Each structure stands twice: as C-alpha cells, then as structure tokens.
C-alpha cells in the first residue's frame, strides 16, 4: 500500500480534506487538488506529511481540460503512478427557477459534471495502462431525487451518476468506477440544521464526514467486484 497514490479533487477543505486525510491514514500518497483555497490546501498537505505520507498540492480549474491535463502530468511526474481518483470538487448554488442564469448553469455543470469527466478521462488513460485503478465520484442524493431551488445542482449530480455507469463499462475490466451519493453532511455544530427537516431522515440525523470517508475507503480498498454502482449514504432519506 505504501506506494499507492490517490488524487482528491477539492481536497483543501471540508469533505475533500477529510477524504484526503482518511486515505493518507490508509497508506496512500496524496495529490491535494484545489482551485482557489491555496492556504487550506497547504494545510491539508502538511497534515498528511506530518503523518509520514508524501503529498503535493496542485491548483487547477477542473472545468478546463488543459488545466486538468497539466494536473495529471504533474501527478505522474512526481509519483509515477495513480491508483485512485476521487472526484469530489463541486459547487452547490441555490436559486429558484427564474433566477438561474447562464453563468450559474455553466459554472455548475462545468465543475460538477464536465470536471469529473475530464479528470476520469485522464485517470483512465493512466490506470488502463497500469491495468488497475479505482475512480470514485462524489455524487449526491440530489442526483437521485430533485432538490427544490437547486435545479442545476441536481441536474449536474444526476449526470454524474450516469457518467459513473458509462465509465464503469468503458473502463472494465481493469478499472472500477463507482459513486457515493451522500445526503446532508454535518461538519460543525453550527451546521446541525439541514435544508431538510431531520424528521424526513429515518435515522434522524445528518451524516458525518467520517461516514463518507469510510465509504470511500471501502470502494478504494475492498470493493474488487463492485463497479458502476451508487452507494447511497443518506440515512434512509430516499425512502421517505
């Protein structure tokens, strides 16, 4: 495991940071991708290095194919391989139907759907040559059921779920591709309130970042015979 490498997009903060640290704890070297949060990305990198794993930061706009290509070239230059890609970077704009603009549409689809495609395309090229690899997309319950006032977000995540299934067929048999669809996640005590009432979640609470990380680690390390699937991590919300 000591030589395995994982690239986590949007790894500077929140869920991406937790995933990067969780994979580092399992022995992975980490590429910490960020777009604008440079200081946070450096802090994530330093935390990983303090625990004895190698890590680098790479800045890129994932919606730009040339910048994505540069990010993967830099990854191979430094580590020489790539074993796991976590497509985590995303945006979550709130707007009623009449307020949705072309700019909002382009930015959301660009980050949440086009970006994961570009990253998966580059990762698959490396992994298929290696004849091994895992691609894990962080989707959302919003891609399975519509979120009111989050139309563009839900559309982008629904597209990401279908992208996952298509990639699984394209990359088989050497590379598995799966998605995790979290519901609402509680990062701090101040985030105890969700945009959905807790009584509409059968388990009556939000997910923790650690629970999402555990699902990522399972798909990255143990799920040898699982591909093209969506692991819904929502406390039963989609049952209501």
Render pLDDT for 10-36 as a digit per residue (tens, 0 to 9). 999 999 999 999 999 999 999 999 999
Q: Tell me the CA distances in angstroms from 59 to 71, 74, 123, 151, 190, one per residue in order.
A: 8, 11, 17, 28, 29
What's the predicted TM-score (pTM) here? Answer: 0.96
Q: Is 119 exposed, middle or buried (0-12, 13-18, 19+ CB in 10 A)?
A: buried
Of 87, 79, 72, 86, the C-alpha closest to 156 is: 87
pLDDT at residue 197, rounded to an integer:
85
- How far is CA 206 from its chain centroid? 19
Domains and CATH numbers, the chain: 5-239 (3.40.50.720)
pLDDT in tens, 181-227: 999 999 877 665 566 788 889 999 999 999 999 999 999 999 999 99
What pLDDT sits at residue 4?
Answer: 97
What is the DSSP code (8-state) at residue 110? I
- For tokens 């088989």, what's the residue? 172
CB 16 within 8 A of CB 8: yes
Q: Give the largest Cα separation in the chain, rounded.
A: 51
Residue 77 has pLDDT above 90, yes or no: yes
Q: Provide the annotated active-site residues.
A: 153
pLDDT band at 89 (very low <50, low <70, confident <90, very high): very high
């Amino acid at each position: 495991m000591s030589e395995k490498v994982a690239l986590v997009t949007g790894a500077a903060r929140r869920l991406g940071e937790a995933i990067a640290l969780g994979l580092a704890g399992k022995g992975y070297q980490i590429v910490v991708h960020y777009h604008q949060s440079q200081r946070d990305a450096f802090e994530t990198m330093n935390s990983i290095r303090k625990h004895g794993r190698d890590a680098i930061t790479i800045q890129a706009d994932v919606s730009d194919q040339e910048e994505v290509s540069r990010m993967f070239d830099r990854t191979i230059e430094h580590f020489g391989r790539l074993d796991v890609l976590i497509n985590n970077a995303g945006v979550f704009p709130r707007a009623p139907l009449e307020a949705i603009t072309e700019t909002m549409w382009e930015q959301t689809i660009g980050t949440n759907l086009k970006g994961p495609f570009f990253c998966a395309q580059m990762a698959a090229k490396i992994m298929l040559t290696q004849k091994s690899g895992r691609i894990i997309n962080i989707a959302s319950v919003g891609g399975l059921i519509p979120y009111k006032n989050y139309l563009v977000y839900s559309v982008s995540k629904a597209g990401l779920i279908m992208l996952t299934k298509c990639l699984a067929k394209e990359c088989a048999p050497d590379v598995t591709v799966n998605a995790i669809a979290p519901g609402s996640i509680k990062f701090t005590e101040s985030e105890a309130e969700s945009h959905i009432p807790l009584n509409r979640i059968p388990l009556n609470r939000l997910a923790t970042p650690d629970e999402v990380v555990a699902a990522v680690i399972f798909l990255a390390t143990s799920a040898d015979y699982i591909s093209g699937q969506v692991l819904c991590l929502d406390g039963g919300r989609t049952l209501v």
